[in-house]
Structure formats: structure tokens, C-alpha cells
Chain A
């Protein structure tokens, strides 16, 4: 065993991963940054420089503004609902040992269902003729004629969100349950001895102790929700109009549908900056909150 190779072996161990990071993030980002200053198209990847013209276009592009706003509405809505439902479910089933472990296994199923299959399932559920939602709503007399949920400007977005909530609430449930189960037992025994009321225990013990982890779950889920693409692509293709267009889908259409890779690159950079701002804001917010509740 030579000492020299020993000295460098930790670096050798990360080398392949390091190369991957170069290939999937650093080089692409430099490429995107470069292309965003040109009027490149997919057939002419190295066209001439237009400097910041693409960025100027971004700020006057109403459709992009809509897609960005849609993404934020979508991500924040589904994440809030999923974290809330996940927490309520976890809190309700926190002390159910056997039932809890069965539910944890079943919770994996929606999470790992292929999004393409989820889209097919919900397309069928919402269908005016063959879907059971319309069938049972009509039967119950709640609607008089079938509703084309995915064809409606107001209903399409909530309809997609419902599919998302079905898929991801179990994930939030899993993480919230783990957070609750990791709480120490002693404070509860002390509260018992003191004869504290149930609501008081929740307000003063459980909730403050579990809140930091709930916030982590929220942020984590939010960051994944920003990436939404496949459900939109398959359920509505951004429509009707552009009522369900999210930024991933818009950039996809600009780059791979209209072949405007230069403009797509500029959009990508703006999106990255927007997300970085949100992430910084959230992590700072979390720190401030934790300081306020004294942790």
C-alpha cells in the first residue's frame, strides 16, 4: 500500500461524482448563460451575439409572467395543502403502531406511481363521458350536466392540483410521522405529572418541537413542486389557453417546440434567479422563526 495513493484516494472516490456535477450542472449552466446572449436556435446553436436583447424580451413577455405566476400558485398551494394534510394524518395516527406501519407502506404507492400513469388515471376520472367524478356527481344531483374539468379555464388547474395532492400527501405524511416519532418522551411525562391539558400540550410541546422539521419538509416539497412538468404536459398541455402553463412547460415549448434555444436559455436563467431568491428567503425565514420560538 503506497502512502501516496492513500493520500489521494478520498479525492479519487469523489472524482466520478465531481465529473457528473460538471457535466450536468456547471457546463450546462455556462452553456445556458452563453446561449442566452445569442439568438441561437436548435438548428443553429452558435448564432451571433445579441447581448441582453433576449433578457429584455423576457421582461415584456406576458406569457412568461403568467407561467411564472402559475408555477408559484401551483407549488405553494399544493405544498401547503400536502404538508397540512400530511401533518394532520400523521398526528392522528402517531400512536397507532401496527396501523401506522401498514399505512407507511401504502403511502409509498401514490408517491412512486409513474406520473404518466397518474395522468392517465386522472384524465379518465375527469372525463365527461367515462369518468367516475362526473358520473357520481350527476347521480348525486350535484351537477346537471357533465363538466369537462380539464377543458375549463377555472377548473383545470385545481384538477391537476388534486392529482398532485393525491400523489404527494402520503410523502408528507411519511415525513411528518417520522418527525413526530422522533420527539423525546420525557417532556410528555413531565406534562402528565403536572396535569397539563391536551390542547396545552399540543400548543406548548408538540407543535413547537416538531415545527422546525415541518418547515424543512415544506421547503423540500416546495422545491420539488417548482419542477412540475409531466402532469401538465400530459393532462392539459398548458391549456386551455395558457391557464395551466408553468415555467418548465413554457421553456420546453420555447426551446423544443419553437426551437428558440437562445430565448429559452434566457428564460432559464431568470427562473434560476427567481428560485434562488425564494430559497434564500425561505431559509432566512426559517432561521428567524426558529430564533423567535427559542430554538
Chain B
């Protein structure tokens, strides 16, 4: 082994962490930072989890992180008894699932066409980004009016259509990088084999960008589940309220207890966290691939 090889190998060995010493003095401090970071992420969640198990009297008297006078399931029982929580969660699930299916069905061909065939030139992508950047409140009045014209106000169908439309730019933005990085040769081969452009999309491109589709679908589903403004103006009775609106109305109108509120909040958080953890690899990849292109 000559000296050059040795030097390169030493460099490679030393690289991890080597250049960090100026600011962070080595591994223990980095681990400490990571622990604090995780602690701060979990502290609020832990706090409502313990609050939801505290005895209501203790909640009204003390803000201690852990229950001191024993634990109880009464907040959970009350939350589900006094609030139509199951119904709100069901509405949210329907809207999130249906709007996501629509969004993917529309965004995948659109993104493919924009990137491969340059459809719409520079204008269409700019328009899509502009639509995403625009604060939704700006178009809230006309969207409310249009939904009313087609008699879909206070109706899950109206809300899910609006969610699908509002999330379309996000889906395009997330899918962009996955389609852009596909080798064109596969598509050329498919065309030579006599596939139409549409068949190529369905049978060649779609299977190859599946990680991107999963990531876009999960993110759009969560965005719809969490969405507040359109759900607020388009659904105004418990029949069609989604989880965020149903809960916030209940807090406003019925003066919910903190214990029940914590249980209800967790009931809305847990499905999301399960989804996020199940698809975490796809979601992280989708967000970072979408986010760091200049």
C-alpha cells in the first residue's frame, strides 16, 4: 500500500465527527443534544397523555407532569360519551381517504406530463407553486360560494373535493423529484414496444415511482385530516364536522374539561402517529427530496 492510499484511508476514517469539534466538543455533547431534542418533542405529548389519565380533581388543582393521586380511565370514557368523537374521526377518515385517492389520481399524470412532455411550459409549474403559496383565506369566500352553488355545503363530499383540490399542488411538488429522476430509456423502450404514453405511465412509470406515490399519499392524507380553515367554513353541524372542527366547537360551546380534552386530542393524534411511524421512511424521503431542490 503506498502512502497516498494510506492518507486517503485515514481521512475517510477520521471524517465522521472530525470537523465538528470547533462547535460541538465530541460525542457525549452530541448525544446530550439529541436527548434534549427528543425530550422536547415528547414532553407535550407525554403531558397530555398523563393528564388524560389523571383524576379530574387533580387536574384542576395541579399541573404536575405525573399523576400523584392515582390514575383513572374516566376522562377517556367521558370524552367518548359526551363528544361524538367516533363520528368526527369517521368523518375525518372518509374525507382524508377519498380526497387522497382523488389527489393521487390527478397529480400523478399531471406531474408526469409536466416533467416528461413539458406540458404548460414554465407557466403551469409556476401556477401550481403560486397556488400552494397563496394563503387559503384569500380564496375562502369564492370557494364557499361555489360549494354553495353546487349544494355541497355541510356535506362530506363538498369538503373532500375541496381538500383534494387544495392538496393537488402539494402532491405535484412531492412527486416532481421522483419522476424527474427516472431514467428516460425505460419509457423509450416501452414506446418502441408499442405502449401508448398513457400505458407507459400506468405500467412502467407508476410502479417505479411507488415510493414517491406512497409518500405523497400519506402526506396528503395527514394534511386533509389536520386541515382546519376549509373544514371550518364548509361544515357547520356535527353531522359533517371533521375531527379538528368537531373538537374545537365542543371546546368552545360546551366548556370541555381538560381531562376529556386531553383524551380527545390523543384520540385524534394516535391514528396520525401510527401512519407516520408505519411510513416514516417514505415520508422522510418525500419531504427531503421535495424540500431541498433549489
Contacts and interface: CB of A to CB of B under 8 A. Distances in A.
Contact of A174 (B164, B247, B284): B284
Given A24-B131, A230-B229, A234-B248, A13 B201 contact: yes
A115 B272 CA distance: 12
B44 A121 contact: yes
A51 interface: no
B287 A116 contact: no
A174 B285 CA distance: 10
A170 B41 contact: yes
A17 B106 contact: yes
Interface stretch (B29-37, B152-160, B181-189, B206-214): B29-37
Contacts of B130: 25
B238 interface: no
A113 B109 contact: no
Contacts of B134: 25, 272, 275
B237 interface: no
B128 A108 contact: no
Most chain B beta carbons < 10 A, residue from A120, A127, A129, A213:
A120
B249 to A, nearest CB: 10
B98 interface: no
A29 interface: yes
A94 to B, nearest CB: 7
Interface string B44-62: 1101100100000001111
B192 interface: no
Given A94-B20, A226-B135, A175 B47 contact: no
A31 B149 CA distance: 14
A92 B233 contact: no
Given A95-B16, A229-B228, A272 B268 contact: no
B60 to A, nearest CB: 6
Contact of A206 (B19, B21, B194): B19
Interface string A82-100: 0000000101111111010
Given A10-B113, A11-B119, A124 B141 contact: no
B116 A10 contact: yes
Which of A124, A129, A220, A272 is most buried by chain B, counting CB atoms within 10 A of its CB?
Answer: A124
Report the interface size class on chain A: 35 or more
Interface stretch (A58-66, A147-155, A248-256): A248-256
Contacts of A107: 41
Contacts of A80: none
Given A129-B63, A201-B19, A229-B137, A117 B269 contact: yes
A14 B233 contact: no
B140 interface: yes
A114 B269 CA distance: 7
A95 B268 contact: no
A265 B41 contact: no
B113 A271 contact: no
A199 to B, nearest CB: 4
Contact of A13 (B59, B119, B247, B261): B119
Given A120-B261, A121-B45, A174-B287, A17 B143 contact: no
B139 A25 contact: yes
Given A109-B45, A120-B261, A175-B292, A227 B65 contact: no
Give the 3 A-B CB pairs with smallest separation, nearest first.
A135-B63, A198-B22, A17-B110
11 contacts: A10-B113, A13-B109, A14-B113, A25-B139, A29-B138, A31-B141, A32-B138, A93-B34, A112-B272, A193-B11, A226-B135
